[in-house]
Copies of this chain bind each other. A is one copy, B any other.
Amino acid sequence: MSKAELKKVSDTKVTKKVKKGEALFEEGDKLDGVFCVRDGISKLSKLSANGKDQIVKLASKGEVMGQRSVIAEEYTNLSAVAVSDMEVCFIPKDSIVHTLNRNPDYAVEILRHMAHDLKEADDVIVNMSQKTVKQRIAEAFLYLKSNYGEDEQGFLVLTLSREDIANVVGTATESAIRIISEFKKKGMIKTSGKKIGVLNEKLLQELTEGF
């Protein structure tokens, strides 16, 4: 859904506050509408057979969650949990279907957006299967920096727990922690509690490309 189209619809809807850690929906839920993110960030994850959560995507301001299952009329394959305090609005299915039928351009816009998501998913697949954990973690920090920025002290604005970081890159929490320690020792990043700051972007970049 395009931001413009979205705004038009969502402005008429009430927003809802969601606290960090709360779930918007769970894997297997039947969604009767989509959530659009007004503020804050949510993780979209899928439980794997071995009991670990794989974070497939982070959704922030302007993004929509749940549209895949609403459109395909399937139960959702992902869970959405707030990783920061959020403000979301809910757009009921009817309203979407209605707009879809009345406005062909709207469908094309959603289509474009989904095509983009699909490309991103392809990239994630390649990263997951071809890069080492170290490379994926380096990439994750660069991604967090460029997408959510850093604060005045140079720490990433979006603070994820070590466990969440591990679940983004698909590794064990201990492995993620170990690599974070290593990056710190090498001066590539700095930490303060769970906050992380990028110190040497170039080094991280080179690492992702296979030094």
Contacts and interface: CB of A to CB of B under 8 A. Distances in A.
A100 interface: yes
A170 B130 contact: yes
A209 B48 CA distance: 10
Given A119-B77, A125-B121, A130-B170, A112 B72 contact: yes
A56 interface: yes
A interface: dominant SS: helix
Contacts of A69: 115, 119
Contacts of A122: 46, 56, 77-78, 121
Interface string A50-73: 101010100000000001110111
Chain A residues touching B, range: 35 or more
A24 interface: no
Contacts of A117: 118
17 contacts: A46-B125, A48-B129, A49-B210, A54-B126, A54-B130, A56-B125, A56-B126, A68-B119, A71-B111, A72-B112, A72-B119, A77-B122, A100-B104, A107-B107, A107-B108, A114-B114, A129-B171
Interface of A: 46, 48-50, 52, 54, 56, 67-69, 71-74, 77-78, 100-101, 104, 107-108, 110-112, 114-119, 121-126, 128-131, 169-171, 209-210
